């Protein structure tokens, strides 16, 4: 089993992948995802989506989607680690594999105001450039200096 650490943002849902290799094409494994070692297995719900994956050329990729409501709990600059393990469908009495850490680092965004000056009483278009994204933002919230929309 392998995984590649990735960089993520906490503003959109993210996916983590657990790759299991060396499988027979007709023998998928059951992948279990957890937040902590030996923790409660995660299920499809408001926080997560789980795709077991299918075997192709001896490789099965299971994907954990961490939904935006859960991602909001992770602070910028922090890291997160989930655990995946596999259990044979060919040998159902066999033990579950050792857990693999699947890691991600939450990126820090850079925001630069493009239009910086507005004359009182005039119309203006305000825009900004955002860097550090892993995929396109669905929306941008604008707030005044007092923190209101």
C-alpha 135/C-alpha 8 separation (Å) is 9
39 with 101: CB under 8 angstroms?
no
pLDDT of res. 125: 77
C-alpha 78/C-alpha 10 separation (Å) is 10
pLDDT tens digits for range 73-132: 888 778 899 999 999 988 889 999 999 999 998 877 767 777 667 778 888 777 778 776
Per-residue pLDDT at 149 exceeds 70:
no
Per-residue pLDDT at 39 exceeds 80:
yes
55 with 67: CB under 8 angstroms?
no
105 Cβ neighbours under 8 A, 6+ residues apart:
5, 6, 7, 8, 78, 79, 80
Backbone angles phi, psi at 97, to 5 degrees: -65, 170
pLDDT averaged over every residue in the chain: 87
Higher pLDDT pick, 58 / 119: 58
Which of 63, 78, 59 lies closest to 13, judged by CA? Answer: 63
């Amino acid at each position: 089993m392998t995984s590649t650490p990735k960089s993520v943002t906490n503003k959109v849902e993210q996916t983590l992948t657990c790759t299991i290799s060396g499988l027979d094409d007709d023998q998928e494994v059951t992948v279990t995802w957890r937040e902590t070692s030996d923790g409660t297995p995660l299920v499809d719900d408001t926080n997560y989506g789980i795709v077991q994956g299918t075997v192709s050329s001896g490789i099965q990729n299971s994907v954990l989607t961490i939904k935006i409501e859960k991602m909001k709990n992770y602070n910028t600059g922090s890291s997160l680690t989930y655990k995946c393990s596999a259990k044979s469908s060919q040998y159902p009495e066999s033990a579950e594999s050792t857990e693999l850490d699947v890691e991600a680092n939450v990126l820090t965004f850079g925001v630069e105001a493009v239009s910086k000056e507005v004359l009182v009483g005039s119309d203006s278009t305000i825009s900004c450039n955002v860097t550090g994204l892993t995929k396109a933002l669905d929306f941008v919230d604008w707030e005044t200096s007092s923190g209101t929309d």
